[in-house]
Amino acid sequence: MPQLSYKDSGVDIDAGNELVERIKPFAKATAIAGVLGGIGSFSGAFELPKGYSEPVLLAATDGVGTKLRLAIESGKLEGVGIDLVAMCVNDLICNFATPLFFLDYYATGRLEVESAATVIASISEGCKLAECALIGGETAEMPGMYFKNDFDLAGFSVGIAEKSEIDRSVHCKEGDVLVALPSSGVHSNGFSLVRKLFFEKLGMRFTDKFEDTTLIDVLLRPTKIYIKEFKANKKDIKALAHITGGGLVENLPRVLPGGLGAVVQKSSIKTLTVFDFMSKHVEESEMYRTFNMGIGMVWVVAKENADKVAANVGGYVIGELIKGDKEVRLV
């Protein structure tokens, strides 16, 4: 009987080594002050920046969800890495943490070097947009766990903040204004509903004309990364809410203290065309608790700073804080 190799079982060590060499330049392109060493060691190293009185490390992890299913089926993988980074770093800044570094986990049934390299190049691009370093990751080839060319992604990011700045709720008060930062699209939440509506119920195709492009291009627009806006306006921000799964109604209360709620004027929300279209087939309450509706982040700012901050970030005012019990009223 001939002897078996690891490759016979479905794991190609040579392909894995080739991928490592391919992605080294992607990681190097994200290097910032603090990065020690490079890809290839057993762990990534990052030196803590100086200048903090009581530095605290904060961590966030996430995936891309079933948006990845559409990317795989359409063969359009160029943006999913940006999505992966965005879902982590946009959470970090909600606790006033500056992202430092990022790691990824790429798991597949059969390693396709070109596809994996495309995804990791996209992760690198996301890290550059987030001004953080890609210092490592893991590629796992697991035949029997994933079907054919399917793969999954997970990401992990670490940031740093002053201990006194982490809890943003203490800065909020009645009368503070809610500034909405526009989303770039559906971002990375609610795609099980997106897929069911567009492709099962309505029978639409990836190539169908939608807005000024195709439907798949609209749905796969990468999640907006808000790090640069945060850094430029940090002194005027009281609190931040990343509008992900749960929408405005579930994410905004997470940054409010007891005794305060929020009122949002629905007529002020600049909903995107894709959400207007979906709203014809999905109940309004379901839309608002599933999707961002065109708002990627909400910043709480003092009333006197609202117009300035909104102008700085291309945002707009959607409401204010009122007395209440950490609830969002859509009126």
Closest Cα partner for 251 from 305, 288, 276?
288
> Do 160 and 290 share a structural domain?
no
Assess whether 202 and 130 both reside in one domain.
no
Cα angle value 126/130/135 (rounded, 5°) = 70
pLDDT at 38 over 90: no
Q: Is residue 221 part of a domain?
A: yes
- 189 and 156 in a common domain: no
Which is nearest to 184 in space by CA: 212, 151, 226? 226
Task: State pLDDT tens for residues 295-308.
Answer: 999 999 999 999 99
214 & 234 share domain: yes
Flag whether 273 is in a domain: yes
Mean pLDDT computed over 30-55: 90
Residue 234 and residue 139 in one domain: no
Same domain for 325 and 181: yes
Domain end among 165, 186, 212: 165
Domain boundary among the residues 119, 140, 165 is at 165
pLDDT at 17: 83
Query: What is the pLDDT, as a whole number, of residue 323?
Result: 95
Q: Is the pLDDT of residue 202 over 80?
A: yes
- Same domain? For 30 and 159 the reply is yes
CATH label of the domain that carries residue 130 = 3.30.1330.10
Instruction: Say yes or no: 258 and 124 in one domain.
Output: no
- pLDDT reported for residue 274: 97
**Residue 18 pLDDT greater than 90, yes or no:** no
Domain that holds residue 123: 7-165
Distance CA 259, CA 321 (A): 10
Percentage of the chain surpassing pLDDT 90?
A: 83
Same domain flag for 13 and 160: yes
State mean pLDDT over 260-288. Answer: 96
- What is the residue-averaged pLDDT of the chain? 94
Domain presence at residue 35: yes
The pLDDT tens digits of the residues spanning 70-88 come to: 999 999 999 999 999 999 9
Q: Is residue 1 part of a domain?
A: no
Residues 105 and 192 in one domain: no
Separation between Cα atoms, residue 195 and residue 190, nearest integer Å: 9
Output the pLDDT for position 303.
96
* Within a domain: 293: yes
Residue 322 has pLDDT above 90, yes or no: yes
* Residue 291 in this model has a pLDDT that exceeds 70: yes
Give the pLDDT band of residue 8 (cuts 50, 70, 90): low
Instruction: List, as one string, the DSSP characters of 201-228.
Output: IS---TTSEETTEEHHHHHTPPPPP-HH
Average pLDDT over residues 296-323: 97
Among residues 150, 165, 180, which one ends one of the domains? 165
pLDDT for residue 221 is more than 80: yes
Residue 2 covered by a domain: no
Q: What is the CATH number of the domain that holds 303?
A: 3.90.650.10
Q: Is the pTM here over 0.85, yes or no?
A: yes
Residue 149: pLDDT band (50, 70, 90) is confident
Query: Is residue 81 included in any domain, yes or no?
Result: yes
Task: Express each pLDDT in 92-146 by its tens digit.
Answer: 999 999 999 999 999 999 999 999 999 999 999 999 999 999 999 999 989 888 8
Residue 1 has pLDDT above 80, yes or no: no
pLDDT of residue 9: 66
Cα dihedral: 290, 295, 300, 302 (round 10) = -150
Q: Examine the domain organization and report whether 210 and 261 are in the same domain.
A: yes
Percent of the chain at pLDDT exceeding 70: 99
Pair 17, 155 in one domain? yes
Asked, for residue 321, whether it belongs to a domain, the answer is yes
Structural domains in the chain (count)? 2
Mean pLDDT of 146-157: 91
